[in-house]
Structure 1
């Protein structure tokens, strides 16, 4: 699941707030020490999860006017998540506070509505710019050492014709890559790697060996061994759209949708509920 979608995975009981009557006096719990009324329950729930609940309810009403998520689409997305989580699916629902799969689907549906709104907002200009800036995956290998002096020594040996695998086996402190001659496999610009390492790796031509590159792990000598071909713009459009659909993009789209729908909040305690920052601390 995308990170922005996971951010929508609020506690399953949040929407229960909408079932409470703000001015109700009906008793929901009794005790010798006193009763708890619907109004009291509402006020407590409003204070704890009111902003999240209102945001979720308003978002769904606004988006449902313009976009549609079918049961087939929803079932397919849930099936995809089940496949990813396997036997941990039920435990994950409980962890996030959902009572069952149907409860979870309510929030998942909102996430998919936001996804549709976000994807539709991405312009051809944004896609073209993303395509022009896109760099295909590369395959690289490296030798990691503790200090620059050793890195320069390694670089000199490679320049003199020593085999990368042999030098890696002798010098590298990266045991995992060392076992494969320093090979790191294919990775892209968004890989979970040190930023300085990524920047240096993608600046290299195929077969070029870098100067020492300092990172949080030490000093690297990097060689790019392969680079995938860049596919056509038409073939990459869907992939690029997915990459452009960030949390920031979703927030931007939702603010526009709310403005277009002329949403106004009458409850003064929840006046800032639709501010993206209002629920950030609870997500």
Structure 2
């Protein structure tokens, strides 16, 4: 996940208990072996996740007074993630413990608020912005078929040149089982995530025209047959400058920067924790969700 997704996802379950009467004996669950009261449930979840939940609640209240994340900004982040993950989006949410897209947005919004608080002190130069633009490559949507040897790769290429459907051959022949079940789809590759791929793979993919099928491309993983299904045009520097500035600043942010910014915001807001059980909650470092 992105480093700006900084909120802790387990906190959400505790937040829902915040309105509960902590001394209530109301039965949450009943059994012949005994009952579970609202108070027992609250205290158990407070002990396990209370510091995370309090940290999230305080951060949201403090940061929302000074910084704003619009629905348009939030939706753009989610859509960017959807493009990168393609058909793997829902599976990835489940992998990271998110119930659904709304749950992801809740976490992402807090992460974006934290990022804005920390980013205001980050400086960039014109040279850094222009260097980024010079190396920038536009988004491409890619699918591939991965096999073990060149002979098999040439056979796959022959099948495709003969009219076989790419997705059918991928499901049948690709050793990349994760993408094979989706017809070889790898989603969107862009400047943010391209470093996750082999350099020879990226070089070959960006050299392709839309819908062109590559010759076998050798990487450390085997031999790939690659097809680019979409490719965006590179905009002018002036059109991209605002986004470039954000990307360069974001790349400079560290966990220490986030933690320092959060402590400054808490101090400025004069935050005090009255619950002795949670007195150290805001001293815990903010760590990126994985």
| Smaller-chain TM-score bracket | 0.5 to 0.7
TM-aligned CA distance change 1:243 to 1:104, over 3 Å: closer
Give the unaligned 5+ runs of structure 2.
136-190, 197-236
The question of whether the paired residues in 1 share the 8 Å contact of 2:24 and 2:37 is answered with yes
TM-aligned CA distance change 1:130 to 1:62, over 3 Å: farther
Q: Which has the higher contact order (CA 8 A, sep 6+)?
A: 2
The question of whether the paired residues in 1 share the 8 Å contact of 2:63 and 2:113 is answered with yes
Q: Which has the larger radius of gyration?
A: 1
Q: State the TM-score, normalizing by the size of structure 1.
A: 0.56
TM-aligned CA distance change 1:96 to 1:19, over 3 Å: farther
User: Structure 1 CA distance, aligned partners of 2:100 and 2:259?
Assistant: 28
Could you tell me which of 240, 248, 256 is aligned with 2:256? 248
What residue in structure 2 maps to residue 99 of structure 1?
A: 99
Give the unaligned 5+ runs of structure 1.
138-186, 193-230
The question of whether the paired residues in 2 share the 8 Å contact of 1:28 and 1:37 is answered with yes
User: Structure 1 CA distance, aligned partners of 2:20 and 2:63?
Assistant: 24
1:64 has 2:61 as partner = no
Cα deviation 1:85-114 (Å, max 9, x = unaligned): 122211222223222211221111101111
Q: Tell me the SS of whatever aligns to 1:121.
A: coil
Q: State the TM-score, normalizing by the size of structure 2.
A: 0.55
The question of whether the paired residues in 2 share the 8 Å contact of 1:14 and 1:53 is answered with yes
Alignment of 1:17-32 (within 5 A): 17-32=17-32
Root-mean-square deviation over aligned CA pairs = 3.2
User: Structure 1 CA distance, aligned partners of 2:126 and 2:43?
Assistant: 48
Cα deviation 1:12-70 (Å, max 9, x = unaligned): 53533434432222211111111111111111111111111111111111100011111
User: Structure 2 CA distance, aligned partners of 1:30 and 1:54?
Assistant: 29
1:38 has 2:24 as partner = no
What residue in structure 1 maps to residue 229 of structure 2?
A: none
User: Structure 2 CA distance, aligned partners of 1:280 and 1:238?
Assistant: 21
Give the drift of 1:282.
9.0
1:90 has 2:90 as partner = yes
Give the drift of 1:237.
4.2
1:127 has 2:135 as partner = no
User: Structure 2 CA distance, aligned partners of 1:258 and 1:130?
Assistant: 34
What residue in structure 2 maps to residue 163 of structure 1?
A: none
Could you tell me which of 273, 276, 284 is aligned with 1:265? 273
